[in-house]
Structure 1
């Protein structure tokens, strides 16, 4: 809708648009002999800028207004901030107001002056909670998109770090920032994510998790096709590898793409510690992930269907431990696994110290009580405890949850088919992983299609070679921009 030159008509129309919106401040006043109308959202603006500077200048410090180019005069004489713009329609004026800008309507002008005056109540930068690192930066992202952008730019001071801003959500109009390194990231990758953001319409987006679900293609897969992180150093490292960072306003977690299975086993402090220690820890994570997925099902398969695989003494020990237990072994395992999942979920929902206490004390009490009551055997408690402990070593919570879900699938197969069911289940999971891709990158890179990168990505896979050996960026980056490290002995150069 076009803006009228008559201020009263604009006031009447704005009254309809903002009816029953008592948090919208609307005030008519005289400025240098000219009627103006100011509109902003209470508690979303910087009052020192709007009331203490702008209004004070136009009411007491400017003298008379010119007959023409009033908006330009105000932009250059009344404001010290350069972040202003002019809107030509009411729609273009109202949306910025709801985002924290201040709109100035002036008698005789068919345009609106918009002042960037955003100042939201926000949480300060705090330590990372879900990705704790013993070495490295302790700060984490917040719910403020601007703060998150600053945290990344503080680490990458390069003009080739580009930022694209889009809005998603018909009603929420959520700001989304796409960050990438020009010349390193693949241009077609940036185009793909922009195209996916335009491929759907939704009422609102309030967290990066919602955006992830709406933009991933294999929605039925339990394995995440986006990597999420709350650590700015991890996001900055991903940008230098040629990946893209998607930051959703009001979300303290950013999305990294493309991603592979290998990315989920990498922690931020893997690149701050010595390579020998990192190799050991990373191998431990892979083994732990296998244990978290397979151990309960394998125990069921061996104990129920193939006891001859066990030494006689161990087999007799298992049988003696289960004496008096009224349930079949698969039911016994499921009871304890579900009890542990209940404890985990309850611990998450309760306040921090109370949740931790519930997980430890509740696990001890329930486990011991179940054994004393002959509901489960001690060996099952050990198996479930080892499985839970192994799942906690996976650095990414979403990825660890996928392993927990697959664990129940394998338990079901092992209950009917024994060890053969476990093998069949593992094959189906492997086939599924091989079929996944993230924005054109195979999910199992660098363990498949190794010729695509000359086996270079394997140097940062199951093990991590010394940093001076990681001369090339991963396969995410453009082919001609793979070099990232050069020593005096190398003939390669940075491009």
Structure 2
């Protein structure tokens, strides 16, 4: 048992005692030469663990040995082939020695991943990650054989980011598979992958990856620092980490990009950004990010620039519709009827004649119902989820209009707004827009257009102040950078984008050869 003293950041003169029991003792408890003693200690630690397995055998009938592993995490056939059989059947070099040495044992093993350890804690850690531990009587070291094997999902098309044009590979829950998909796309020694563990109980492996000659050292170091400061029992998904490393966690706007597409990760690495891969999660994290970067889709770079630019303009138009269309309808029908043409005004007034609620209550009822249908469609089994959401919206909308609860124009407004919210390529950003839409509806219902202008003003002020790992959230619009505007609202041809974004890629600003001909 050991008491660790840590200083409080706010009150450096006050020390807080943290008591850690068990772990520190294991870290200093070295292995002895007695196989029985080592085995007893390890068995006691794993007492009551059903999948804890050990097997004792003799090396050429001379030296007692034991292998320890967790059932379901190792490949038993490979252990039999690469560990047990070589030690039992092929030990002439070992027998000739007066005493058994670990070097001779290592020579007999045919496994590629072999390590050594000297403490009980090292043995426990290796067992828990799926390694097989070999203990030999007379040797005060343990041998760790990495022959892990468990069921895992195969590489498939990403589910949360639909692919129209481009690679159809998506990340899986295996961190090694995910790292290999990035390495396969960037065949350079400049691609660095740094590993660490987070979680006192889960010991989840996390990999920081970046391009050494492109990413800024300050951003990479900041990512390392924020990850090391995370002190939690377990990390079950990369989403846990997002809230710990965001600059402004109380903002509704996401400051970390989550993606399950390897090509999107590689594209951001080439711009000087840093990616974080988490074991047991198919979503990689990318930092720093900007608002305009999350509005872009990987398909924008695979298609022709003319069509891509048109789609981007439509995307930004529908961003305004998704955010403010219901609020504008409420403001016009409640406070500013003079803005409508006479015929349209009569039509809207006639449709709202039987509606007993004010426009703002009417809109809130429809928006909340639409959000409920959307969530129901996500939670239901996939074959019937989309059908139920679509049919439910049609049936409820039609029934509500016929019953006089809502007006027909509002159904059109809510439907158009719902369609607009599906156009964004980033799900967390979609959630932020959906939430802010209710805020705009409330302002429009109380102050009309003045409330809408006030809401837009406060949102812009917040976005201008927002940072993602020190990078302005609205860059390159604020602060304005004309050279980086080539890939914001429109996308210029590739031969025109000869430089990386200055905010993240200024260490290696040129991405296009200087001899390339520009048209």
1:30 paired with 2:61, answer no
Following superposition, the deviation at residue 466 of structure 1 comes to 0.3
- Residue of structure 2 equivalent to 1:40: 69
Separation in 2, partners of 1:376, 1:67: 93
Question: Equivalent of 2:424, from 381, 388, 394?
Answer: 394
Structure 2 portions without partners, runs of 5+: 1-28
- Tell me the SS of whatever aligns to 1:154: helix
- Residue of structure 2 equivalent to 1:241: 271
- Tell me the SS of whatever aligns to 2:193: strand
- Residue of structure 2 equivalent to 1:19: 47
Contact 1:186 1:476 in 2 (8 A): no
> Where in structure 2 are the equivalents of 1:41-80 lying within 5 Å?
41-63=70-92, 64-65=94-95, 66-67=97-98, 70-80=101-111
- Residue of structure 2 equivalent to 1:467: 494
1:4 paired with 2:59, answer no
Following superposition, the deviation at residue 67 of structure 1 comes to 4.8
- Residue of structure 2 equivalent to 1:173: 203
Separation in 2, partners of 1:180, 1:294: 38
Contact 1:40 1:103 in 2 (8 A): yes
1:370 paired with 2:400, answer yes
- Tell me the SS of whatever aligns to 1:30: strand
Following superposition, the deviation at residue 152 of structure 1 comes to 0.9
> Where in structure 2 are the equivalents of 1:227-376 lying within 5 Å?
227-376=257-406
Contact 1:176 1:248 in 2 (8 A): yes
1:188 paired with 2:214, answer no
Following superposition, the deviation at residue 274 of structure 1 comes to 0.4
Following superposition, the deviation at residue 240 of structure 1 comes to 1.0
Separation in 2, partners of 1:69, 1:485: 60
Contact 1:45 1:118 in 2 (8 A): yes
Structure 1 residues 489 and 110: CA distance shift in structure 2, 3 A? closer
Structure 1 residues 80 and 95: CA distance shift in structure 2, 3 A? closer
Separation in 1, partners of 2:158, 2:109: 42
Aligned residues: 487
Separation in 1, partners of 2:101, 2:272: 46
Separation in 2, partners of 1:13, 1:413: 66
Structure 1 residues 69 and 472: CA distance shift in structure 2, 3 A? farther
Using the size of structure 2 for normalisation, the TM-score is 0.92
Structure 1 portions without partners, runs of 5+: none
- Residue of structure 2 equivalent to 1:442: 472
How large is the Cα RMSD of the aligned pairs?
A: 1.4
Separation in 2, partners of 1:245, 1:480: 17
Instruction: Give CA deviations for 1:162-193 in whole Å, capped at 9, x if unaligned.
Output: 10001000111000011111111111111101
Separation in 1, partners of 2:462, 2:98: 70
Instruction: Give CA deviations for 1:269-319 in whole Å, capped at 9, x if unaligned.
Output: 111100000000011111111111111111111110111111122111111
Contact 1:258 1:476 in 2 (8 A): no
Following superposition, the deviation at residue 73 of structure 1 comes to 1.9
Following superposition, the deviation at residue 69 of structure 1 comes to 6.7
Separation in 1, partners of 2:206, 2:264: 19
Structure 1 residues 186 and 131: CA distance shift in structure 2, 3 A? same
Following superposition, the deviation at residue 489 of structure 1 comes to 5.3
> Where in structure 2 are the equivalents of 1:191-230 lying within 5 Å?
191-230=221-260
- Residue of structure 2 equivalent to 1:482: 509
Separation in 1, partners of 2:114, 2:308: 50
